[in-house]
Structure 1
Amino acid sequence: MLAALVAATGIALHHSTSEVPAVLVLATFALWAWAFSLVAVLAALRARSVLLTIVALALVGAGVIQYGPLVSPARGDDDEGVDLRVLVQNLEFGRADPVEVVRAVRDGGVDLLLTVEATPEAVDGLRAAGLVEMLPHEATDAAPQTAGVAVWSRYPLSPPERIPGFSLGVLRTDMAGPAGPVTVVAAHPVAPVFDGPTAVEEADRLRWYLGGLPGPAPVVVGGDFNATWDHARFRGLRGLGYTDSVSGGGDGWVPTWPAGRRVPPLIGIDHVLARGALSVGDTSTVRVGATDHLGVLATVRLPADRVR
């Protein structure tokens, strides 16, 4: 019975739009809570209780519906397109090893790198490590501690525009991409564990901002959202036409934090999203030293038949 209650709580948290800080934090781990439904099934079968078995199976089914989009096969796309390899990396107070970041860019064939917690020292370190040899164009707004944001690209970028109203930083730049203009946004809204009311406010503000970006140019968004698939406000971006690379590619559960600890990453809060793209997926992670976030690498397939 206790396992069923835990699983039911996880399902409720997945759908919750509460602004209570504790609820927001607990929702981060809703998937883990739902996993207790499997324990509930085993316990019910062992107890030979028909009622408990039905309840437990219903909880399992509810979770399958919730998390099905993460593992559903990506839809085939026969249209020709141009692939853009995108890497998102939280630099953790700017301490991430710049040589390893550059190596990840090289090994991943990255065309677009979006970084958060980009301090002035981190930006200088990436330049010195040779990042500009592969990604010569940059739109950076470095800042101390966690407020810096920086974008690096294989293709020309417009000057950075820092969007007001975000304590950790949201930056926009326009890229002259391989198949036409692309709007690029690097995002780092505040975490609910630090400031619940501000986290709700910034999540709503980010949704409003992203929803108001003009088309028809595709939009690529990446960063540390401090939100998982279990946060209703993050999933709400789907209603604005944005597709997360994990759900778009059927790539399953991709945890990114915490990295470099004794325990493996438990939650996926770093994301690559796209709007107006043919597809987005092929999601994987990369390990960079001296940061507690895995980088997220994904492929955004851009329409190829647009006028530059």
Structure 2
Amino acid sequence: MRFVHGFISSVLWIIAIPLLLIAVARLLPFDGMIPLPHLVALTPWATLATLPLLIVALFARRKVLAVLLAAALAGYVYWLAPFFVPPSTSSPADPAHPGTLRVMTVNVLYGQADAQTVVGLVESQHVEVLAVQELTPAFEEALTAAGLDELLPHSFTVAADDSPAGSGLWSSTPLAEEEELPGTSFAMPSALVGVDGTSVRVTVVHPHPPMPTDITAWRTELAQLTEHVHADDARQILAGDFNATYDHAGFRDLLGSRFSDATREWGAGPAVTWPEGSQVPPLFALDHVVVERDMPVSDVVTMQVPGTDHRAVLATVVVE
């Protein structure tokens, strides 16, 4: 009998230790070292796994383990619950209102995404600003052939052949003060967009991913982006593949007290966007629309695009 109890206890601890480590990693105010970025990305899924394990630990009378799991679960719920709190506004914003901006971002996987689908979403979803990552010259031509220039005639693109380094920004209204964030692995173009008399700087975001062998570029580029956007007094919207979830400290540092993640503000749950298009369902919310904290958001959704491993993210942003 002792052997059975000991075996059950060992199994419970073996399952629990990774869940407890994820909670500790999420609690830390930094994530710039291996394996922290990869652990904290699992936070939403650790939440789902911790509850049944806690119930088993309680029935098995493993008091110490139950207390630790209860503390971890409390943290997980605290971190995750705001994603399910709807906005205080009584009705969704009207995308046709001149003070709103319908924004869409999509990573097109080295230009392998279906351009017709992208343009179709732009048209059907009344997109006014499109941010594209991993843009190639061939995909830019395919977008033009599919009619994107007729819907969004103004653009600032930095395409790259056979590389994830390209990015592009399209708009229904003229762009001004175009610039590119210097010193990054992948292009991050930005420009001012006019919204009912207000200029908003829209930036296409795509920092280097946190590779297990080296996360220096990821940490450095997120920090560089954070410093750059917070130094700019212009009202801003950031859209793209951030290669980070809300649970990453680097992403929360980027938000600071100034910006909000549109998905979290909309309150319909985390918008998982990667990996897409395989037998594994999307697990991580890497793609975001980030807005000024005083900009309400509405109708934040994800959409499938054939040919890419990311889902597109769309949001209506109330600028004025």
Give your verdict on TM over 0.5: yes
How much does 1:22 deviate? 2.7
| Alignment-mate amino acid for residue 148 of structure 1 | G
The structure 1 residue matched to 2:151, chosen from 121, 126, 134, is: 134
1:256-277 per-residue CA deviation (whole Å, 9 max, x = no partner) reads 0011101110101000011164
Aligned residue in 2 for 1:266? 283
Partner letter of residue 108 of structure 2? L
**Deviation (angstroms), 1:200:** 0.6
Q: Is the 8 A contact 1:3 1:39 kept in 2?
A: no
Please tell me whether Structure 1 or Structure 2 has the larger radius of gyration of its CA atoms.
Answer: 2
Of 25, 31, 56, the residue aligned with 1:43 is: 56
Q: Percent identity?
A: 33
Q: Identify the residue that residue 223 of structure 2 maps to in structure 1.
A: 204
Check if 1:8 corresponds to 2:20. Answer: yes
SS in structure 2 opposite 1:21?
A: coil
Q: What secondary structure does 1:35 align onto?
A: helix
- Give 1:150's aligned residue: 168
1:173 to 171, 181, 191: 191
2:307 aligns with 290
Q: How does 1:58-69 map to 2 (within 5 A)?
A: 58-69=71-82
Amino acid at match of 1:178: D
The alignment's TM-score, normalised by the length of structure 1, stands at 0.91
The answer for the alignment partner of 1:306 in structure 2 is: none
Q: Aligned residues, how many?
A: 301
Determine if contact 1:281/1:300 at 8 Å carries over to the other structure: yes
Contact 2:119-2:148 within 8 A present in 1 as well: yes
In structure 2, what is the Cα distance between the partners aligned to 1:244 and 1:104?
A: 22
Structure 2 length as normaliser, TM-score?
A: 0.88
Q: Which residue of 1 aligns with 2:317?
A: 300
Alignment partners' CA distance in 1, 2:158 and 2:166: 6
CA apart distance, 1:165: 1.5
* Distance (Å, rounded) in 1 between the aligned partners of 2:294 and 2:127: 17
Instruction: Give the aligned residue type for 1:5.
Output: I
SS at match of 1:278: coil
CA distance in 2, matches of 1:277, 1:181: 15
The separation in 1 between residues aligned to 2:251 and 2:44, in whole angstroms, is 15
Deviation of 1:281 after TM superposition, in Å, equals 4.0
Q: Report the alpha carbon displacement of residue 230 of structure 1 after superposing the two structures with TM.
A: 1.5
Aligned to 1:25: 38
| Structure 1 contact 77–278 (Cα < 8 Å) conserved | no
Distance 1:59 1:295, change over 3 A: same
Shift of 1:289: 1.1
Gaps of 5+ in 2: 1-12
CA contact under 8 A between 2:223 and 2:254: conserved in structure 1? no
C-alpha distance in 2, partners of 1:171/1:84?
A: 18
CA root-mean-square deviation: 2.1
Report matched runs for 1:52-201 at 5 Å: 52-76=65-89, 82-144=99-161, 145-158=163-176, 160-193=178-211, 195-201=214-220
Distance between the aligned counterparts of 1:42 and 1:290, measured in 2? 42
Change (3 A) 1:150 1:159: farther
The answer to whether the 8 Å contact 2:244/2:251 transfers is: yes
